[in-house]
Amino acid sequence: MQRTKNPRKQRKMLFNASAHVRHRVMSAPLSPELLAKNGIKTLPVRKGDSVRITRGDHKGFEGKVSKVDLKHYSVNLEGLTREKVDGNTVFLAVHPSKIMIRNLNLDDKVRKATLERKKPLIKKKGEKAKKPAKKAAEVKKPAEAVAAKETPEAEGGT
C-alpha cells in the first residue's frame, strides 16, 4: 500500500486492498511472553490462535479464533456471541488491533517459516539487532552490470 496522509485516500486504499495486503493489515501484537520467546512484536491473526481482547466492552475476554474475515477486517472468537431479538445467536466481530495473541497456532509449516524468517539476531546490550547482510555475489554494483553488458561475450559476438 502506498503511504499517504489524506484520510480519504487511506480509507480508499484499505477498502480496495488486495488479499495479501489485507492479510498483513490483520496483524495483532503478541503477548509479552511470546515477544520474549520469539523476538517479534506482531503477527497476522490465524484461525486457532488463542487471543485476549485488550480494548472495548469485552476487555479481558480470552478465547480461540474461530474465523478471520479478511473482507470486513474482523475476527470471531469462540464464546463471544450475543443473542438477537429473534433468538438467533451471532458472533461479535473484533478488529485485530484490539486483541493480543496469547498462543500461536503452529500447525502450518509456512507460519513456522515466517517466525524463523522474522526472528532478529541475538543482540548485545545497547545494540540494535541487525539482519544478515546480503551475499556479495547477489548484489552487483551498477558499474559492474553495465560493464558486463558492453563486453562482446555478453552480446553473443565472436
Distance CA 48, CA 53 (A): 15
* pLDDT at residue number 22: 93
What is the tens place of the pLDDT at every residue in 68-82? 999 999 999 999 999
* pLDDT at residue number 17: 93
CA 121, 126, 128, 132 dihedral sign is negative
CA 19, 119, 101, 9 dihedral sign is negative
* pLDDT at residue number 152: 56
- CA 76 to chain CA centroid, Å, is 18
Q: Grid coordinates in use for 83?
A: 443473542
What is the tens place of the pLDDT at every residue in 121-148? 665 566 666 655 555 555 555 556 555 5
What is the tens place of the pLDDT at every residue in 30-71? 999 999 998 899 999 999 999 999 999 999 999 999 999 999
Distance CA 119, CA 109 (A): 16
- Confidence band, pLDDT 50/70/90 cuts, at residue 150: low
Find where cell 560493464 sits.
147
Contact 35/41 with Cβ under 8 angstroms? yes
Q: State which H helix or E strand residue 115 sits in.
A: helix 109-118
Distance CA 47, CA 67 (A): 6
Distance CA 98, CA 28 (A): 8
Q: pTM for the complete prediction?
A: 0.71
- Confidence band, pLDDT 50/70/90 cuts, at residue 120: confident
Least confident segment among 61-65, 83-87, 104-108: 104-108
* Domains recognised in the chain with CATH numbers: 7-123 (2.30.30.30)
